[in-house]
Chain A
Amino acid sequence: MPAATDKRPSPEELLRRVQAEERLAGRGRLKVFLGYASRCGKSFRMLDEGRRRKERGEDVVVGALQSPCAPDLSSLLRKLEVVPTIKARHDGREYELLDTAAIFRRHPQVCLVDELAYDNPPGSRNPKRWQDVDNILRQGISVITAINLQHIEEHQDAVERITGKRVSQTVPEHFLRSAQEIVLVDAALDDMMKRAGAREPVDVRRLSELRELALLLAADVIDGQLNNYLQANGLEQRWGTHERILVCITPRSNGEAMLLSGRRNADRFHGDLLVCYVRQSGLDAKDQQTLQANLDLARELDAEVSTLEGPDAIAAIVKFAQEQRVTQIFVGHSAPNPWQELFRRSPVDRIIQAAENIDVRIFPHPSAP
């Protein structure tokens, strides 16, 4: 693949990989169907995949299903073997636990587990169902499971902003990211409304926001997988599929406007915001203060801030941008200096010349009319 260049891994890196592979050896594969709301079709996709695998000769069982079972699932379920869950009562609430001991004894190739985010009753060996799933994977049994975005631990704040609610039953994102495969289960909004029927009002806006979050989460997980794959194969990816914006701060540029715009642009593109400045000696107190204020703002805006060194500031910025797979560089207009411009290119012109493959956005100088 010409977009990637060869990069030889170091011996330590190779050792780390071998150890990681050894840990993984003998572990079952995890596949997750990620949805954005109930009734978007995750459980159906999960069971349908189980059915198809069984038809192709794999040994598949169902370890847990959501109850009551939706009518469109029951015909699929009839084609599959079920390891019954253990029913339990605690504080007047009914629970259904994965019967891990029975699953280990039965030892299928693949176990289907619905509702990955499920809290086991107090006193269970594992408080969370995903920990049971982890144990099943350790036994060399592959698991296919389903979860909604709302139940990913790290997204609780975002979900609460949208729905006004937090859920107690959550799964940490690292477990999701440990999956070999993740599939996004999308559904059109009008279909969601039809499925909801007259039973409950559907908040189109809320559903859309959750849907967007789920799509972006899946994209991020996949981006991570792509980078892992490239690294594992000694390939270095030069160009990502998403926007990475680098704002270059100097004491004299209109840092605040550039940073705010950088944040807004990164958000609009669902990309990343990076900020850099090249260390300079001999700054006066006022410049030092402005620089510090801009760097504080950058951190406040949740940017990745880097300090660069080098005799040639332009070369340092461009090199950093290439390494970081930046797609847009934001720079400030240089202060007008007609005398200098007669003899040499301005820093802005030099960045434009040097930054191949990267867009350069130039911001007005504070002194501009």
Chain B
Amino acid sequence: MIGSADTPPGRLKVFLGYAAGVGKTYQMLDEAQELRRKGIDVVIGYFEPHGRQDTIAQTESLELVPRKILEYRGSKFEEMDVDAIIARHPAVCLVDEFAHTNVPGSPRLKRWEDVQVLLHAGIDVFTTMNVQHLESLNDEVWRIIGVRVRETIPDWVVDAADEVVLVDLTPQALQNRLGRGVVYSTDKAKKAMENFFTETNLTALREMALRHAAHEVEGRLSDLKTPVPAPTTLVPPPGTPARKERILLCLTGRPSTAMLIRRGKRVADYLEADCLAVHVERRPANGARAQALEKHMTFARNLHIDARVLVGRDVAKTIVDFARSQNVSQIFLGRPGNLRWWKIGDSVVERVVRLARDREITIVAERRR
């Protein structure tokens, strides 16, 4: 039976770029053509032509599974037809624009969730994305290029891919392509170039893509290595692998908590640490506060962070006690807002810092532009 638990999951290959027009889709199609010539059953599940002639030419003789048409607020939208692809059951399915958000009314919110369904059904998937769509880089991208990317993918989805291949092109070459109207029609290109495709923005994003690709390679490398042994002394001599860290993120209802979650998870991923999150409240929240909090909890859980709510009269003490009981090595807190001089030592942050002198504590800055 298709999609049964016995089917080995399909393999996921991600073509990672840093901007529209660097050639992700082209390279994906190029590899698909090679597979087709070798007699492997490849279909296109979703393809975004953007009117690019040489890319469109690359789809020749590849089978295209028709899209599903959905109506939303009187307009028609086209989305990938997951059921039709599963019924067709190719060996490999190409899915462009991994970070896409489906139109409301679709079975799943995000295209990456559709891809999970295809993988679960035992179909290999090739997909494309840009580095700025990674959830953990959202604040960095905003700070550097001034764009708040809305369509994001949790990092674990990409980390779980079997292969992440960097598709590289120099910003100069990309700007030439834009100028020639290869990427967008020329009017649109001019606007894009002025606003987003500046040489500094492109270079910064490209550097991020290269570093992230290296991070993905390293993650797969450490999967090959043996687990880290437990420490015998407090300060191990240089060169010995450190004890596995456990990081605790302290959530609040404040909007900057999203930043704290992204940053904390990113640090945890790079240190290969466990990541927990906790919110402490004096009494159960209700109304808008409960809603804001619930949003953060869901966000944390979507990033595969073990998040829970504790009730305690003394917030700082509850956090520190919990950290000790969970063997947390590092506590992450948001930077306190404006402190008043007459309340020295009174904020939760200051109190945690005083109470947990035996732990590492990181105060996460609010990223500002």
**A interface residues, Cβ below 8 angstroms from B:** 1-4, 31, 180-191, 204-205, 208-209, 211-212, 215-216, 218-219, 222-223, 225-226, 229-230, 235, 237, 239, 241-242, 256-257, 260-261, 263-265, 268-270, 301, 328, 333, 336, 341-345, 348-349, 352-353, 355-365, 368-369
Which chain B residue lies CB-closest to A356? B365
Residues A212 and B217 in contact, CB atoms below 8 Å apart: yes
Residues A359 and B365 in contact, CB atoms below 8 Å apart: yes
Rounded to whole angstroms, the CA-CA distance of A344 and B330 in the bound complex is 26
Instruction: Give the interface size bracket for B toward A.
Output: 35 or more
Residues A241 and B170 in contact, CB atoms below 8 Å apart: no
10 contacts between A and B (CB under 8 A): A212-B221, A230-B200, A239-B144, A263-B238, A341-B344, A341-B354, A353-B339, A355-B365, A356-B368, A364-B360
Residues B200 and A229 in contact, CB atoms below 8 Å apart: yes
Within 8 A of A (CB), among B326-369: 330, 335-336, 339, 344-345, 349-350, 353-354, 357-369
Rounded to whole angstroms, the CA-CA distance of A264 and B273 in the bound complex is 13
Could you say which of A182, A261, A355, A357 contacts B367, with CB atoms under 8 Å apart? A357
The residues of B that contact A263 with a CB separation of less than 8 Å are 238
Knowing A235-B200, A264-B242, say if A362 contacts B369 (CB, 8 Å): no
CB distance from B306 to the nearest CB of A (A): 21
The residues of B that contact A4 with a CB separation of less than 8 Å are 200
Check if B220 is an interface residue, CB within 8 A of chain A. Answer: yes
The residues of A that contact B358 with a CB separation of less than 8 Å are 364, 368-369
Residues A205 and B221 in contact, CB atoms below 8 Å apart: yes
Could you say which of B203, B206, B217, B271 contacts A265, with CB atoms under 8 Å apart? B271
Residues B214 and A188 in contact, CB atoms below 8 Å apart: no
Proximity bits, B182-224, A CB within 8 Å = 1, else 0: 0000000000000000111101101110110111011011001
Rounded to whole angstroms, the CA-CA distance of A260 and B231 in the bound complex is 15
Residues A186 and B201 in contact, CB atoms below 8 Å apart: no
**B interface residues, Cβ below 8 angstroms from A:** 13, 31, 140, 143-146, 162-163, 165-170, 172-173, 198-201, 203-204, 206-208, 210-211, 213-215, 217-218, 220-221, 224, 234-236, 238, 242, 263, 270-272, 330, 335-336, 339, 344-345, 349-350, 353-354, 357-369
Number of A-B contacts (CB under 8 A): 173
Knowing A3-B145, A241-B144, A242-B211, say if A226 contacts B365 (CB, 8 Å): no
Rounded to whole angstroms, the CA-CA distance of A216 and B204 in the bound complex is 14
Residues B173 and A181 in contact, CB atoms below 8 Å apart: yes
Residues B144 and A208 in contact, CB atoms below 8 Å apart: no
Which chain A residue lies CB-closest to B235? A257
The residues of A that contact B368 with a CB separation of less than 8 Å are 356-357
The residues of B that contact A342 with a CB separation of less than 8 Å are 344-345
Which chain B residue lies CB-closest to A336? B357
Residues B214 and A212 in contact, CB atoms below 8 Å apart: yes
The residues of B that contact A190 with a CB separation of less than 8 Å are 162-163
Residues B217 and A215 in contact, CB atoms below 8 Å apart: yes
Which chain A residue lies CB-closest to B213? A215
Could you say which of A204, A223, A349 contacts B207, with CB atoms under 8 Å apart? A223
Rounded to whole angstroms, the CA-CA distance of A333 and B214 in the bound complex is 34
Could you say which of B31, B146, B162, B272 contacts A3, with CB atoms under 8 Å apart? B146
CB distance from A45 to the nearest CB of B (A): 9
Rounded to whole angstroms, the CA-CA distance of A209 and B224 in the bound complex is 12
Knowing A222-B203, A226-B203, A357-B368, say if A186 contacts B163 (CB, 8 Å): no
The residues of A that contact B350 with a CB separation of less than 8 Å are 345, 349
9 additional A-B pairs beyond A342-B344, A359-B263, beta carbons within 8 Å, are A183-B170, A191-B31, A205-B221, A215-B210, A230-B200, A235-B200, A359-B362, A361-B330, A362-B362
Rounded to whole angstroms, the CA-CA distance of A278 and B366 in the bound complex is 26
The residues of A that contact B203 with a CB separation of less than 8 Å are 222, 225-226, 229
Residues A187 and B165 in contact, CB atoms below 8 Å apart: yes
CB distance from A105 to the nearest CB of B (A): 29
What 5 A-B pairs come out closest when comparing CB atoms? A215-B214, A219-B210, A186-B166, A188-B163, A368-B358
Residues A241 and B167 in contact, CB atoms below 8 Å apart: no
CB distance from A116 to the nearest CB of B (A): 17
Rounded to whole angstroms, the CA-CA distance of A216 and B166 in the bound complex is 12
Rounded to whole angstroms, the CA-CA distance of A303 and B22 in the bound complex is 36
Residues B365 and A183 in contact, CB atoms below 8 Å apart: no
Rounded to whole angstroms, the CA-CA distance of A205 and B238 in the bound complex is 23
Residues A3 and B144 in contact, CB atoms below 8 Å apart: yes
Which chain B residue lies CB-closest to A230? B200
Rounded to whole angstroms, the CA-CA distance of A268 and B267 in the bound complex is 9
Rounded to whole angstroms, the CA-CA distance of A184 and B56 in the bound complex is 25
The residues of A that contact B169 with a CB separation of less than 8 Å are 183
CB distance from B243 to the nearest CB of A (A): 11
Residues B211 and A208 in contact, CB atoms below 8 Å apart: no
Residues B217 and A222 in contact, CB atoms below 8 Å apart: no
CB distance from B348 to the nearest CB of A (A): 12
CB distance from B329 to the nearest CB of A (A): 10
Rounded to whole angstroms, the CA-CA distance of A349 and B339 in the bound complex is 10
Could you say which of A183, A349, A352 contacts B168, with CB atoms under 8 Å apart? A183
Knowing A219-B210, A222-B203, A362-B360, say if A256 contacts B365 (CB, 8 Å): no
Residues B140 and A348 in contact, CB atoms below 8 Å apart: no
Q: Tell me which of A348, A361, A362 has the highest count of chain B C-beta atoms within 10 A of its own C-beta.
A: A362
The residues of A that contact B207 with a CB separation of less than 8 Å are 219, 222-223, 226, 241-242
